[in-house]
Amino acid sequence: MSQALARTARIPRLSRFGWLMALYAENHARLSRLFAPEHLQVGSYLSSVGDGLDLRLDVIETHRYTVELRLTYDLCDPLTGEPDPSAFVRLYRDAHQAEATHCYVGRRWQDVIGLYPPPAEVISHRMRMNTFLGKWLEYLAEQGHGVATLQPAGFVRDVA
């Protein structure tokens, strides 16, 4: 066996499930850095950076170990009237992970993968949703959204 093959044989492989858990950890770090949702009260918050595309963060529930929230723009899908894009996120305080539980991008998860999908399809779907969430959080940070721009919905702030 060549030296290169021997070296790669010693490198541990990350399973798809392990990759997904790492993605959850990255999303937790991004989300916590951006909005610190684990410190927010239940309610709706808006983040405005003056680009005309306000971000809405709804803290739906807080529990001892989890925070349930929804990220969306104040845009509605013309066909359904639902906010689109949006991501429902469960933040695990103790495990330092954030999981996109479902995203509404025109269709529900049952429409995408069926009612009884094989486990590999479920993991693939979760990877796509959480990759979307990670890229969206990165984009929001680049646009200037964050704790400093987050205000309770109904609070009007002059963005000059």
Looking at residue 83, the DSSP 8-state letter turns out to be B
Structural tokens at position 85: 């894009």
Residue ranges in 40-147 assigned as alpha helix (H):
109-113, 119-143
Residue ranges in the chain assigned as alpha helix (H):
3-10, 16-35, 109-113, 119-143
Strands across the sheet containing 86-92: 97-104, 86-92, 66-73, 55-62, 43-47, 150-152
Rounded to an integer, what distance in angstroms lies between the CA atom of residue 87 and that of residue 65?
A: 20
Rounded to an integer, what distance in angstroms lies between the CA atom of residue 130 and that of residue 145?
A: 19
Rounded to two decimals, the pTM is 0.80
- In sequence order, what are the residues at sequence separation of 6 or more whose Cβ sits closer than 8 angstroms to the Cβ of residue 154? 44
In the prediction, which pLDDT does 158 show?
44
In the prediction, which pLDDT does 75 show?
80
**DSSP helix/strand/coil, 153:** coil
In the prediction, which pLDDT does 109 show?
60
**DSSP helix/strand/coil, 48:** coil
Q: Can you give the pLDDT of all 160 residues of the chain as single tens digits?
A: 566 666 666 666 668 888 899 999 999 999 999 999 999 999 999 999 988 889 999 999 999 999 999 999 878 777 777 777 889 999 999 999 999 988 865 556 666 677 787 888 888 888 999 999 999 999 999 999 999 999 998 754 444 3
